[in-house]
Structure 1
Amino acid sequence: MYLIDISRNGQPSYDARVNQSLDNYFVNDLKLPGHGLMFYVNQPSVIIGRNQNVWAEVDIDYLHEHNIQLVRRTSGGGAVYHDMGNFIFENILTDDASDFGDYGHFAEPVLKALQKLGINVAMKENSSDLILDGKKWSGMTMFKSGKGIAAGGTIMYDLNIENAKKVLTENQDEKRKRLGVLSKRSPIVNLKDYLPDGMTMADFREYLLKELFKVSSLDDIETYHMTDDDWKVADQRLAETYGTDEWNFGHNPGYYHYTDHQFEAGKLGINWTVTDGKVAHIKFNPFFKATGDLTAVEQQLVDRKPSSRVIKKAVKKGNLANIDADQLTEFLESQLTSE
């Protein structure tokens, strides 16, 4: 097994959209032989499954107000929160998919390392969650492409649990639509209080890597360092798909289109579907604090034909103080009536 170093120009990468896209690059593009392991940290971010409805899973206003990234995986799984108090480990195999679906196989080395410290961790029965005292400290996911697998999960050292709870507040109206895969919420716990006294996050990282690679020094770990050519391909994938708002915010089951417009107050995205001439679903995604009620605008548009009269009436219903009503009306007309 070898470590995959995803630092760039000597600096670690904390950009969640970058980091979460790299498993796809290693499995589908680079295809290094053998067993690789990515081990990294993301800045505050919400990671959702490929087939999830972000509007049901995430408090979007809280996300934007607290500068939390939204990242859609290329794999399945539920919505989770990451921050600088949380590790992510990911196994990369490109020529052996025999263990696909076996979460226990990929969890075992991490579980053994923690059990060696006297911590009573385990895999939850009939689940991909890793637990301690009945609470989750790791959620695992994986995907398969040909003979390749990416499989891993989180390791919560000192995650901001309050942030996690608030940003992962579900929207019950969207949840009732049952569009996409719903997350299974579980109580979570940090490992910090169960570790030996004085074990910092850096100490914990060093301990885990030594245990996983069965070495006495980090210098003894075989390491693949990403090259400039690697980053060129990764950057291209980000620009085309994984770094775009259309993928991360807009790729929701039941919502077929996504675009945005720059207003004076900031960028406003819309995600929508028109079926048989009527608006079936629509959600606004303001990257600023909208003064007024965009939800009221959404409700006025759903199940109606998006005529100029209907759109003007809906926009008026929102009583929007910092979004120009005429500009918003024109923007909506150009999108909703173009199909």
Structure 2
Amino acid sequence: MLCIKHHSTDPYFNIATDEYIFKHMEEDCFMLWRNDNAIIVGKHQNTLAEINHEYVKERGIKVVRRLSGGGAVYHDLGNLNFSFTRTGDSYEMIDFQRYTKPIIEVLKELGVNAKFEGRNDLTIEGKKFSGNAEHVFKNKVLHHGTLLFSSEMKDISGALKINPLKYKDRGVKSVPNRVTNISDHLKEKISLDQFTDKIMDYITGHFEDARMYEFTEEDLKKIQEIRDEKYSTWEWNFGYSPDYNFKQGARTPGGTIEMNMNVSHGIIRAVKITGDFFHIRDIKPIEQALENTKHEEEAIRVKLEPFNLKEYFDKISEDDLISIMF
């Protein structure tokens, strides 16, 4: 088994790396890696329904859809991620406990009583510190998980806090959990780098034929291609979302306004704007202009640019309109 300490912190590149070791490397792999601030959503989720749009935009948090199912998770540099790829018999592919056991064993050595609970979580004293997901294709599995070591808890709650009433769809919803950092439970404090080394030492010492591996220039070139062509694109991260209906209203200086949209593959297909606001011109051209537009702020602003909005919405600004569309 190839053991990899991945040094990139680019979320797009790292999620592409997960796909690369799963689809393009024949040998089984174990990889440890970290992302800079990012929300990683499950393959079958409605991205916009999982994120706090304003919080994410203000802080420049990247949003990336991964290859596996499950719920959305927040990554920062205080979070360590691990990935296994393995080829085997299909009947034994889905086995969360198999791939999380090494983590539990390392934590036991550090005096932490960690447990596997529920469907795919690791907990300490009933609080979650690790979520796990798997993707299976034919006779190969990709298992990856998070390990909250010293993450910023306020960012976890802020980035993922959303209003469930805005979106009606069939996407897989994330379930809120009480979370904790591993570092808060260590009897003797160690750094995240030291914790990373302990996990890698455990893997290389307990798995047959485990050996360290550095990505070649050719590996990195192919990963970059996957990153650029897939994981950094709006089409994958947002457009792949299931169809949904969106409804949200707000009180503005010009009165109440409500936005109703039908969205398919991330594209706004139908719009209806209602409320008790005043206007000079009929708003139908605005609704029509927004049809067949990405449900994405920049694209919407481009469609609104030709209009003198003061003639359509009295005392309601473009920013007011944008804010109720997310």
TM-score (norm 2): 0.75
Query: Is 2:258 the counterpart of 1:280?
Result: no
Which position in structure 1 is the counterpart of 2:23?
28
- Cα distance between partner residues in 2 of 1:328 and 1:211: 61
What are the Cα deviations for residues 289-328 of structure 1, in whole angstroms up to 9, with x where unaligned? xxxxxxxx96519xxxxxx962326889xxx9x9577536
1:143 alignment partner, SS class: strand
Which position in structure 2 is the counterpart of 1:133?
125
Which amino acid is the alignment partner of residue 3 of structure 1? C
Query: Is 2:309 the counterpart of 1:327?
Result: no
Flag structure 1 segments of 5+ consecutive residues without an equivalent.
7-11, 257-277, 286-296, 302-307, 330-339
CA contact (8 A) 1:46 1:79 kept: yes
- Cα distance between partner residues in 2 of 1:124 and 1:328: 54
Which amino acid is the alignment partner of residue 2 of structure 1? L
1:181 alignment partner, SS class: coil
Flag structure 2 segments of 5+ consecutive residues without an equivalent.
246-259, 275-281, 291-296, 308-326
1:43 alignment partner, SS class: coil
Which position in structure 2 is the counterpart of 1:310?
284
- Cα distance between partner residues in 1 of 2:271 and 2:177: 31
Change (3 A) 1:174 1:37: same
Counterpart among 300, 312, 336 of residue 273 in structure 2: 300
Change (3 A) 1:114 1:253: same
CA contact (8 A) 1:99 1:105 kept: no
How many angstroms does 1:159 deviate by? 0.8
Change (3 A) 1:328 1:100: farther
Which amino acid is the alignment partner of residue 178 of structure 1? D
Change (3 A) 1:284 1:24: closer
CA contact (8 A) 2:240 2:265 kept: no
- Cα distance between partner residues in 1 of 2:184 and 2:88: 39
How many angstroms does 1:244 deviate by? 0.7
1:196 alignment partner, SS class: coil
- Cα distance between partner residues in 1 of 2:285 and 2:10: 38
- Cα distance between partner residues in 2 of 1:191 and 1:44: 19
Which position in structure 1 is the counterpart of 2:2?
2
CA contact (8 A) 2:148 2:181 kept: yes
Change (3 A) 1:56 1:325: closer
Alignment of 1:116-131 (within 5 A): 116-125=109-118, 127-131=119-123
Change (3 A) 1:151 1:122: same
- Cα distance between partner residues in 2 of 1:108 and 1:324: 51
1:300 alignment partner, SS class: strand
CA contact (8 A) 1:27 1:94 kept: no
Which position in structure 1 is the counterpart of 2:12?
17
- Cα distance between partner residues in 2 of 1:68 and 1:242: 15
Which position in structure 2 is the counterpart of 1:191?
182
- Cα distance between partner residues in 2 of 1:325 and 1:229: 42
Which position in structure 2 is the counterpart of 1:230?
219
What are the Cα deviations for residues 8-44 of structure 1, in whole angstroms up to 9, with x where unaligned? xxxx2001111112222122223x22x3101011101
Query: Is 2:234 the counterpart of 1:250?
Result: no
Which position in structure 2 is the counterpart of 1:266?
none
What are the Cα deviations for residues 105-158 of structure 1, in whole angstroms up to 9, with x where unaligned? 111111111112221110113x10101111100000010112211102011110
Which stretch shifts more, 35-44 or 242-251?
Answer: 242-251
Which stretch shifts more, 114-123 or 233-242?
Answer: 233-242
CA contact (8 A) 1:5 1:226 kept: no
Query: Is 2:73 the counterpart of 1:73?
Result: no
CA contact (8 A) 1:47 1:73 kept: yes
Which position in structure 2 is the counterpart of 1:111?
104
Change (3 A) 1:309 1:150: same
CA contact (8 A) 1:14 1:43 kept: yes
CA contact (8 A) 2:239 2:266 kept: no
What are the Cα deviations for residues 89-111 of structure 1, in whole angstroms up to 9, with x where unaligned? 01012455453211011111111
Question: Where do 4+ consecutive residues of structure 1 move more than 4 Å?
Answer: 95-98, 282-285, 313-316, 322-326
CA contact (8 A) 2:271 2:287 kept: no
Number of aligned residue pairs: 275
Change (3 A) 1:279 1:133: closer
1:173 alignment partner, SS class: coil
CA contact (8 A) 1:283 1:298 kept: no
CA contact (8 A) 2:21 2:29 kept: no
CA contact (8 A) 1:89 1:153 kept: yes
- Cα distance between partner residues in 1 of 2:166 and 2:124: 32
How many angstroms does 1:164 deviate by? 0.5
CA contact (8 A) 2:243 2:266 kept: no
- Cα distance between partner residues in 1 of 2:264 and 2:165: 13
CA contact (8 A) 1:282 1:298 kept: no
